[in-house]
Amino acid sequence: MLVLWLGACSSRRPKPVDPTLSKAEELQRKALQQCRRYRQSLPLLRQRFADTQTRLQAIAAERFVPVMPPLPLDPEEQRLLTIYDQETEQQIYDDAVAAWTRSEAERRQVWEQARAQRKAAAVQERDQLAQQLRTISPDLLRPGDPLSLNQEQMQRYLSCKPENFR
């Protein structure tokens, strides 16, 4: 009797399924669910990520522009002055150049600090957006440095068609 019961139970078991096929189907099903869940927020995430990348490129392209230095002394005018006046003019000019050099060094330092802060904020924002995109699907970003969107996968998720997830 026990043998018949075990035989009956074994005949009711579902047929073995290829585990790789079911795993692939499960991954497809999850991807489609993620697509549907994030369909509304994905365009905004994509735009914000692209804007942040553009901002990082603009920051990288910035260059410090110094203020014009003091104009050099005119040799023709200097020739007309007395030696004492020439020395006085030269001292005034040298002091102006030294002040300009200090001022430009301070300006450059302030500029570089502000630029570094803007870059750090943009990198942090980009990394947060990248993490949100990876939560939806790691395939939405191309591997490597710098981070970039995988446009093919992005279109797949934006269309959210079941046939795109087979």
In single-letter form, the type of residue at position 39 comes to R
What domain range includes position 58? 22-165
Domain membership of residue 64 (yes or no) is yes
User: Any idea which of 9-23, 26-40, 80-94, 118-132 has the lowest mean pLDDT?
Assistant: 9-23
Model pLDDT for residues 36-65, shown as the tens digit of each residue: 888 888 899 999 999 999 999 999 999 999
- The Cα 69–Cα 67 span in angstroms is 6
Q: Does any domain span residue 13?
A: no
Predicted TM-score (pTM) of the model is: 0.70
Give every CB contact of residue 69 below 8 A, 6+ residues apart in sequence: 97, 100
In a domain, 11, yes or no: no
- Number of independent structural domains in the chain: 1
Q: Is residue 1 part of a domain?
A: no
Each residue's pLDDT tens digit, 77-103: 999 999 999 999 999 999 999 999 999
The answer to whether residue 80 is domain-embedded is: yes
Proportion of the chain above pLDDT 70, given as a percent: 86
